[in-house]
A and B are shown apart, each in its own frame.
Chain A
Amino acid sequence: MPTRKRNSPAASRLIFGDLWEYDPAPETADPKLKERYDLFIDGRFVRPRSGRYFPSINPANERKLSNIALAGPADVDQAYRAAARAFPKWGALAGRERGKYLFRIARLLQDRAREFAVAETLDGGKPIKESRDFDIPMAAAHFFYHAGWADKLEYVAPGRRVSPLGVVGQVIPWNFPLLMLAWKLAPALAMGNCVVLKPAETTSITALKLAEILQDAELPPGVVNFVTGAGETGALVMGHPGAAKVAFTGSTEVGKAIMRQLAGTNKKMTMELGGKAANIIFDDAPIDQAVEGIVNAIFFNQGHVCCAGSRLLVQESVADRVVAKLKNRIRVLRVGDPLDKNTDLGAINSRAQLSTIRRLVASGVREGAVMYQAPCALPERGFYFPPTLFTGVTQSHRIAREEIFGPVLSILTFRTVDEAIEKANNTAYGLSAGVWTDKGSRILRMSTELKAGVVWANTFNRFDPSSPFGGYKESGFGREGGRQGLLDYVSLS
């Protein structure tokens, strides 16, 4: 009836050309960057003992943005001592008083949202529309949410007494610099802990800008301390004897190293590590919206997302249609200057990450998977990678097993529901999964059988401060967000 063939469809092609090219639309707010960022210890900006600084560059054009202090053992120790000094008073402060500080931080962040969005985009390479519409508002939302918990401690674990742990050491990744900081800081502070936090070395700037907000909010000195540097500094933060608990978000490899380092100590730990999420499309799914979901799942933040839907499992009967639609969809993704408001995919965060992506993509080609890349002109300078699809991928391809952390999607097919579950769970990771179907009962079954911390149904990459987030298996343990996330920052008695 509706789709009878008349002309030759072979000639039908969509033209996504330059008839109406969008003019550049750069965001022009001033990020107010300093030439040099010192450590933030005991409520003040202090120079590192070593006097050493390292550059932070803009991955979009490889130009230097600022110099960041390199923290050594003495600096980390100083930070821990400041936190320990601040803890007795902060931990004993009435929850409603602590809540006021968190509300203040959230509001000050909202006030300076555009400035922070531009800084985040310059430092990390993500598109301005994401830092403006997602990272910064969501970071503020986490402070607001946890501000609300601060005076409701008796409801965190009804019938039991909750008390803060003490000083918490936190190390966060470069993919959502300010948001991950908010995920870590807000619950720790709401529950009465003090913090020593190390941002990732390629993306320290928004943390240090937030330190300015902490000063403006008159947060007592020492409650929050930021030490900057690379892996060695991170190991010092995680390994310091003054930490009652450590929280880490980053790669599974580093997470394992931290756990080895801390084995035998009585530190509490939470780990939010890698992922290789299955995004499962059943034949009754609303295909166009599923395609949009696939795009959100893998190309959001250039695929630098631990819960990215990097393995697409499509039911065989609709696989050709889904792949054809997906190819057309990624032809209109705009890759380029992250500060342009129309950019969909910005820059890869660092040269090192770009070479990791290239290496894994080369392995996919070498192992016989079929690659499709959207035809798009990439800027000459800076770190960029086009949206990439691999079809003909099997479970044993490296690109189906290892986390690529880039805009690269591996597409596999399945026939039955059981096969989908089997394939989805056949991974060392278990952070997230997506299910696309019109059938409610199937969603319920999948959500029970998929071994993943988050299962999204007919959507992907949706977050909310009230919803706990965390992994199964080698994706880590502990939860962030919601009431469950608070439990990792208190001791119960």
Chain B
Amino acid sequence: MSPRNSTAAHARLLDEVGAVDQVGVEERVAKYTTRSIKKEAKSWGLKTAVSMTDLTTLEGKDTPGKIESLCRKALRPYDGPSVPTVAAVCVYPSMVRYARAGVGSSGVKVASVATAFPSGQTHLRTRLAEVRGAVADGADEVDMVINRGAFLSGEFSRVEDEISEVVEACGPAALKVILEVSELETFDNIRKASFLAMGVLRPGDFIKTSTGKTTLNATLANNQVMIEAIRDFYLDTGVPIGMKPAGGIKTAKQSLQFLIAVKETLGDAWLTKKRYRFGASSLLNDLLRQLEKERTGAYQAPYYFSDASESY
């Protein structure tokens, strides 16, 4: 698409998906934070959050040994009874084969970031090759980044085509499309980009807030804009797309608030790891700590919970 047409395309896309009012969104999500989740409901929410966690390490200093430790934590987050495994481990492409070996056939998925994560600033052929390489090494899921530069300059079909090509490169692997909300800046853009991505995704694929590598990551507000987009897209087309907020969710309380948003916006069908994930690492131990508190009535010291990684 030539830049000359970009303004018109911009307007058309906005017309189709509608505007978002920032004040209104923030008012809506403030209501989630006043919900009071107690007892059984709290335990259920905490366990569900554990089961939805994509336990992540995305550091330059990651080593096969660290990945192995991450996988053990993923399979057995805590010694206590009835704590589920996490949904996936999320690593860089070069670590995929170690992760694959680490989780084995446990059902915990291996997710790999790809497409020149986190900036996406390299040739499309390189990005696609990276995706194919990760899948060949055993990734069940691929987390890609969109071309924010193209999006912001109005080259929507380029963004869309690139996502399509990544979908193809994924083959059987599920795809999570990272919008990098902090670089899209407005809620209008986040809604637009969500629709753009969902238009070419398959049922079971995800849209995701952020890489965790910029200043602003997942918030209740941008989560809300994206899950409302998912809801509208589902009611229009029948295609259920998953959601993954990532980065910045560090406490159990926060994760429960995100789940409340899911329950009250998308409903019960999204309260599953098949359709909702948390991209996080330090969140997991806080969830476990709160679960132990629910079980025993007392908070345990942090050193009772094994460390797996210390990135975002």
Interface positions of A (Cβ within 8 A of B): 1-12, 14-25, 129, 133, 284-290, 292-293, 296, 324, 332, 341-342, 438, 458-459
B38/A4 in contact, CB under 8 A = no
A20/B44 in contact, CB under 8 A = yes
Q: List 9 A-B contacts (CB under 8 A).
A: A1-B13, A1-B199, A7-B238, A15-B268, A19-B263, A22-B41, A288-B20, A292-B27, A324-B235
Contact with A along B1-18 (1 / 0, CB 8 A): 000000000001100111
A-B pairs under 8 A by CB, number: 132
Interface positions of B (Cβ within 8 A of A): 12-13, 16-21, 23-25, 27-28, 34-42, 44-45, 48, 156-157, 160, 195-196, 198-199, 228, 231, 233-239, 259, 263-264, 266-269, 271
Contact of A14 among B21, B38, B231 (CB under 8 A): B231
Q: A129–B30 Cα gap in the complex (Å)?
A: 12
B28 contacts across to A, CB distance below 8 A: 288-289, 292
Contact of A2 among B13, B228, B238 (CB under 8 A): B13
**Given A5-B237, A19-B271, CB of A459 within 8 Å of CB of B34:** no
Q: A324–B234 Cα gap in the complex (Å)?
A: 14
Q: A78–B238 Cα gap in the complex (Å)?
A: 71
Q: A287–B235 Cα gap in the complex (Å)?
A: 15
A458 contacts across to B, CB distance below 8 A: 21, 23-24
A341/B36 in contact, CB under 8 A = yes
Main secondary structure of the interface of A (DSSP, over half): loop
B239 contacts across to A, CB distance below 8 A: 6-7
Chain A nearest CB, measured from B36 CB (Å):
4
**Given A2-B13, A14-B266, CB of A20 within 8 Å of CB of B259:** yes
A23/B20 in contact, CB under 8 A = no
**Given A3-B236, A7-B239, A133-B34, CB of A289 within 8 Å of CB of B44:** no
**Given A7-B238, A12-B234, CB of A287 within 8 Å of CB of B36:** no
The 6 closest A-B pairs by CB, nearest first: A289-B24, A7-B238, A2-B195, A25-B36, A286-B21, A19-B268
**Given A14-B266, A342-B36, CB of A2 within 8 Å of CB of B17:** yes
Q: A11–B21 Cα gap in the complex (Å)?
A: 30
A1/B269 in contact, CB under 8 A = no
Chain A nearest CB, measured from B306 CB (Å):
28
**Given A7-B239, A8-B238, A9-B238, CB of A1 within 8 Å of CB of B16:** yes
A342 contacts across to B, CB distance below 8 A: 35-36
Contact of B39 among A7, A23, A290 (CB under 8 A): A23
Contact of B238 among A6, A285, A290 (CB under 8 A): A6
Nearest A residue (CB) for B195: A2
Contact of A459 among B24, B157, B233 (CB under 8 A): B24
Chain A nearest CB, measured from B91 CB (Å):
30
**Given A1-B13, A3-B195, CB of A9 within 8 Å of CB of B236:** yes
Q: A288–B232 Cα gap in the complex (Å)?
A: 10
Q: A18–B40 Cα gap in the complex (Å)?
A: 13
B160/A23 in contact, CB under 8 A = no
Chain B nearest CB, measured from A62 CB (Å):
25
Q: Which of B36, B40, B42, B268 has the most CB of A within 10 A?
A: B36
**Given A8-B238, A20-B48, A459-B23, CB of A1 within 8 Å of CB of B156:** yes
Chain A nearest CB, measured from B204 CB (Å):
13
Chain A nearest CB, measured from B275 CB (Å):
12
Q: A23–B38 Cα gap in the complex (Å)?
A: 6
Q: A39–B254 Cα gap in the complex (Å)?
A: 48
A20 contacts across to B, CB distance below 8 A: 41, 44-45, 48, 259, 263, 268, 271
Nearest A residue (CB) for B39: A23
Nearest B residue (CB) for A9: B238
Q: A214–B37 Cα gap in the complex (Å)?
A: 37
Chain B nearest CB, measured from A339 CB (Å):
11
A286 contacts across to B, CB distance below 8 A: 18-21, 24
Q: A306–B21 Cα gap in the complex (Å)?
A: 26
